[in-house]
Chain A
């Protein structure tokens, strides 16, 4: 153990990032220099974590002959990253991982960019949203909480969320519509910080992704009320005490007819070769088979839908329409366009 570790550590020092000479099945196209994964968000967020996990998996299982590099371009709510990919026409060595800001950023800011400016590669998963409250509060079900909101005047309850005019606020607006009461939406920089604000009782509820709040749930600090999906989550392993993700009811069953899922998928610059896209699709398929990926999926209670090609493009087009409706309704569209 000690000897191998020592050799390994020297290896790390000596050849950081050196290519691995392991044979892979023949492809029509293979990367000839390092592959960049652009993250249109800051370090530590959900998209960043997924990209870095994949980088680790690809390196550990030698799924690529060339190293994979993760680069954060978070400026302008991710607009910087999207513009970079849009302008890298024909670059076969660039990928971008998306979150909902694929749609919301150009709509809310007027940054000249659309998903059609890029080449769709694959949907890796869909991220769920859950309504959370502090465990010290008396709300045990979504109905308790909704009743409390309805009983109080406008702008009494505070909702914490990530960023402004993005997924968390879209859900908040939908909640307002369902309850008929206004809430104060307080934007924070990142999902982890949002969850902690809830634990510290600085806001009344959040719509954190499962992975962002699960630690506090397990520690008995937060209570999940309902999940914003059409069906319950598939994961039945006991997580917090005797509860599993599967025990959380859907919001619809609790009288809140709100559904929202966030895309975690990949795109490439416009004008890339078909063979390159096929290569990455194949690589992602292999990534999905690894135990590390499966662990990430179950930790974060992700919806594991996988799509490629036309099916994926169609899904994205639908999602865009959906966002356009939601954004318009909420009055989030940029004024100039």
Chain B
């Protein structure tokens, strides 16, 4: 423990060297650019720059690359809030309240809340990594297929039943998401399914294409219908907004803490940032006094998913280092980098490469602080984008969407699919079908199915595997409670009510 603090201090002294600070800023700025341009994504950004870091020392290289990662995480929130286009799966939940806030002219507030929450989440996770790294790594090993499924189950359950739309429309929407997610190659049997012989459907429907279409293009069509204007025009473009937002943030400390814990837990279990953001949003909506207002521009609806996503994104680096399993495509590329520098990720990395590991951990602290400063100073700049006239920005957004859809699989057919999703999204939204359950199902559906079938395969069809130990049993039970929460709540209210009304009679 004492050694660790000494090592961390040494790590800081490495990170604070001027050339490393320069690398850090360069990394953050590149990361934000990469995060803002849909289709570039963190994985791409890191992969592209990876070869350029071979001539640096491993520590400097990982500082720069991990800063690209932080920058991309920060940047992902920007397009979600401004244009309703989430660039990464874990930014989807941020659009639910972030975009309505931007439309109400509160883009600056939403961005500040998002950036600050990301920072808080990441910081919490880094502190956890610093203090309990070895413990955490062994916890991750407990997750077999059944445990992983239980986590997805909890994510779905905490989200289902949240929408105000008619229940059967919600069900239809979510199931269509599952069906779309199932198209392509079935991981478990190596068989193609639902492709009907079309070569273009081999890869299935990627989440990003669906989301760019449903949310991004769909939104442009809705805006068109209501006239050629961006409703976020009145956005304040003043740095004061940062301070004003900060003043109201401490009120939500409980929400932040809960989201941090959810995030860390999801990050360590291999489920990752996406279920974390959805779960955190769902639970916040249920618990918050202003829950009914979620989806209409509630700041809590931005804080919850952003905090959890970043806590998870940060915590996910730990299993990567300690076990050699990447939690995300970006982490996978970073992992490749480690190998090229001659560092072997795995349990011994912490013993053999202390300077590197603690340098990295120190750079997590510094990178997030530098990142927060960089993005916060740019808040007015980002908010000002909303002042560009719609007839100029709309075609540019369309072009960006097309580029984003193309780069997912380097396939022009995906651009066509994006437009189809856009028109579908417009109709669904007008016909009062919720889009969020569909997106959640596309993102997590096939993974949930995979772990479900892996568990059943292992247990030879015995459903008891989902309650076979305390970990999986607890998570499944939590999921069931979340699923039936409205009924339980009703029941509780009735019991209390009957006691209350029974008393006078006695």
Q: Which residue numbers of A lie inside 8 Å of B, CB to CB?
A: 2, 5-6, 8-10, 12-13, 16-17, 42-44, 48-49, 52-53, 55-56, 58-60, 70-71, 73-77, 79-80, 83-84, 104, 108-112, 155, 158, 163-166, 169, 184, 186-189, 192-193, 195-197, 199-200, 202-203, 211, 214-216, 218-219, 221, 292, 295-296, 299, 332, 334
Q: Check B336–A53 contact: CB distance below 8 A.
A: yes
- Chain B residues with CB under 8 A of A2: 17-19
Q: Check B340–A76 contact: CB distance below 8 A.
A: no
Asked if B478 lies at the interface with its beta carbon under 8 angstroms from chain A, I say no
Which residue on B lies nearest to A4, using beta carbons?
B19
Asked if B9 lies at the interface with its beta carbon under 8 angstroms from chain A, I say no
Q: Check B141–A75 contact: CB distance below 8 A.
A: no
Within the complex, the shortest CB–CB distance from B124 to chain A, in Å, comes to 25
Within the complex, the shortest CB–CB distance from A221 to chain B, in Å, comes to 7
Q: Check B409–A75 contact: CB distance below 8 A.
A: yes
Rounded to whole angstroms, the CA-CA distance of A73 and B204 in the bound complex is: 12
- Chain A residues with CB under 8 A of B332: 42-44, 48
Q: Check A9–B64 contact: CB distance below 8 A.
A: yes
Q: Check A219–B348 contact: CB distance below 8 A.
A: yes
Choose from B270, B342, B345 the contact partner of A193 (Cβ within 8 Å). B270
Q: Check B336–A218 contact: CB distance below 8 A.
A: no
| Binary interface encoding of chain B residues 50-65 relative to chain A, with 1 for a CB under 8 A from any of its CBs, else 0 | 1111111000100010
Q: Check A76–B202 contact: CB distance below 8 A.
A: yes
Q: Check A71–B410 contact: CB distance below 8 A.
A: yes
Asked if B255 lies at the interface with its beta carbon under 8 angstroms from chain A, I say no
Rounded to whole angstroms, the CA-CA distance of A20 and B415 in the bound complex is: 34
- Chain B residues with CB under 8 A of A187: 187-188, 190, 454
- Chain A residues with CB under 8 A of B56: 5, 8
Q: Which of B106-114, B305-313, B322-330 contacts A (4 or more CB under 8 A)?
A: B322-330
Rounded to whole angstroms, the CA-CA distance of A13 and B294 in the bound complex is: 41
Q: Check B51–A77 contact: CB distance below 8 A.
A: no
- Chain B residues with CB under 8 A of A59: 51-52, 54
Choose from B43, B189, B204, B340 the contact partner of A53 (Cβ within 8 Å). B340
Q: Check B185–A218 contact: CB distance below 8 A.
A: no
Within the complex, the shortest CB–CB distance from A324 to chain B, in Å, comes to 16
Docked complex: B120-166 residues within 8 A CB-CB of A: 140-145
9 contacts between A and B (CB under 8 A): A13-B29, A48-B336, A75-B204, A80-B203, A184-B457, A187-B188, A196-B324, A199-B141, A296-B339
Asked if B23 lies at the interface with its beta carbon under 8 angstroms from chain A, I say yes
Within the complex, the shortest CB–CB distance from B28 to chain A, in Å, comes to 11
The 8 closest A-B pairs by CB, nearest first: A75-B203, A215-B346, A44-B332, A76-B202, A164-B190, A202-B144, A165-B190, A219-B347
| Binary interface encoding of chain B residues 16-31 relative to chain A, with 1 for a CB under 8 A from any of its CBs, else 0 | 0111001100100110
Known A196-B325, A221-B347: A44·B55 in contact at CB below 8 Å: no
Q: Check A60–B55 contact: CB distance below 8 A.
A: yes
- Chain A residues with CB under 8 A of B331: 44
- Chain B residues with CB under 8 A of A12: 26, 49, 52-53, 64
Q: Check A192–B333 contact: CB distance below 8 A.
A: no
Rounded to whole angstroms, the CA-CA distance of A189 and B185 in the bound complex is: 12
Q: Check A219–B346 contact: CB distance below 8 A.
A: yes
- Chain A residues with CB under 8 A of B53: 12
Asked if B487 lies at the interface with its beta carbon under 8 angstroms from chain A, I say no
- Chain B residues with CB under 8 A of A219: 346-348
Which residue on A lies nearest to B346, using beta carbons?
A215
Rounded to whole angstroms, the CA-CA distance of A42 and B266 in the bound complex is: 22
Known A109-B190, A197-B144: A49·B409 in contact at CB below 8 Å: no
Within the complex, the shortest CB–CB distance from A188 to chain B, in Å, comes to 8
Rounded to whole angstroms, the CA-CA distance of A75 and B185 in the bound complex is: 7
Within the complex, the shortest CB–CB distance from B27 to chain A, in Å, comes to 9
Q: In the complex, given contacts A52-B333, A79-B202, what are 15 additional A-B residue pairs having Cβ atoms less than 8 angstroms apart? A: A2-B18, A2-B19, A44-B332, A56-B54, A58-B51, A76-B202, A108-B191, A155-B460, A188-B454, A195-B324, A197-B144, A200-B143, A215-B346, A221-B347, A292-B340
Rounded to whole angstroms, the CA-CA distance of A118 and B204 in the bound complex is: 25
Q: Check A200–B55 contact: CB distance below 8 A.
A: no
The interface on chain B, measured as residues whose beta carbon lies within 8 A of the other chain's beta carbons, has a size of: 68
Rounded to whole angstroms, the CA-CA distance of A111 and B18 in the bound complex is: 54
- Chain A residues with CB under 8 A of B179: none
Rounded to whole angstroms, the CA-CA distance of A44 and B191 in the bound complex is: 23
Rounded to whole angstroms, the CA-CA distance of A196 and B29 in the bound complex is: 35
Within the complex, the shortest CB–CB distance from B336 to chain A, in Å, comes to 5
Which residue on A lies nearest to B330, using beta carbons?
A43
- Chain A residues with CB under 8 A of B202: 75-76, 79-80, 83, 111
Asked if B48 lies at the interface with its beta carbon under 8 angstroms from chain A, I say yes
Asked if B184 lies at the interface with its beta carbon under 8 angstroms from chain A, I say yes
Asked if B176 lies at the interface with its beta carbon under 8 angstroms from chain A, I say no
- Chain B residues with CB under 8 A of A332: 190
Within the complex, the shortest CB–CB distance from A200 to chain B, in Å, comes to 4
Rounded to whole angstroms, the CA-CA distance of A83 and B333 in the bound complex is: 25
Choose from A6, A155, A203, A215 the contact partner of B22 (Cβ within 8 Å). A6
Asked if B225 lies at the interface with its beta carbon under 8 angstroms from chain A, I say no
- Chain A residues with CB under 8 A of B144: 197, 200, 202
Q: Check B187–A163 contact: CB distance below 8 A.
A: yes
| Binary interface encoding of chain B residues 196-220 relative to chain A, with 1 for a CB under 8 A from any of its CBs, else 0 | 0001001110000000000000000
- Chain A residues with CB under 8 A of B23: 5, 9
| Binary interface encoding of chain B residues 399-443 relative to chain A, with 1 for a CB under 8 A from any of its CBs, else 0 | 000000000011100000000000000000000000000000000
Rounded to whole angstroms, the CA-CA distance of A58 and B340 in the bound complex is: 13
Q: Check B189–A164 contact: CB distance below 8 A.
A: yes
- Chain A residues with CB under 8 A of B454: 186-188
Asked if B182 lies at the interface with its beta carbon under 8 angstroms from chain A, I say no
- Chain A residues with CB under 8 A of B191: 108-109, 164, 334
Asked if B335 lies at the interface with its beta carbon under 8 angstroms from chain A, I say yes
Rounded to whole angstroms, the CA-CA distance of A77 and B55 in the bound complex is: 34
Rounded to whole angstroms, the CA-CA distance of A76 and B56 in the bound complex is: 37
Asked if B47 lies at the interface with its beta carbon under 8 angstroms from chain A, I say yes
Known A75-B184, A166-B190, A295-B342: A215·B324 in contact at CB below 8 Å: yes
Known A9-B64, A52-B336, A59-B51: A218·B348 in contact at CB below 8 Å: yes
- Chain B residues with CB under 8 A of A111: 192, 199, 202
Q: Check A215–B344 contact: CB distance below 8 A.
A: yes
Q: Check B346–A192 contact: CB distance below 8 A.
A: no
Which residue on B lies nearest to A220, using beta carbons?
B347
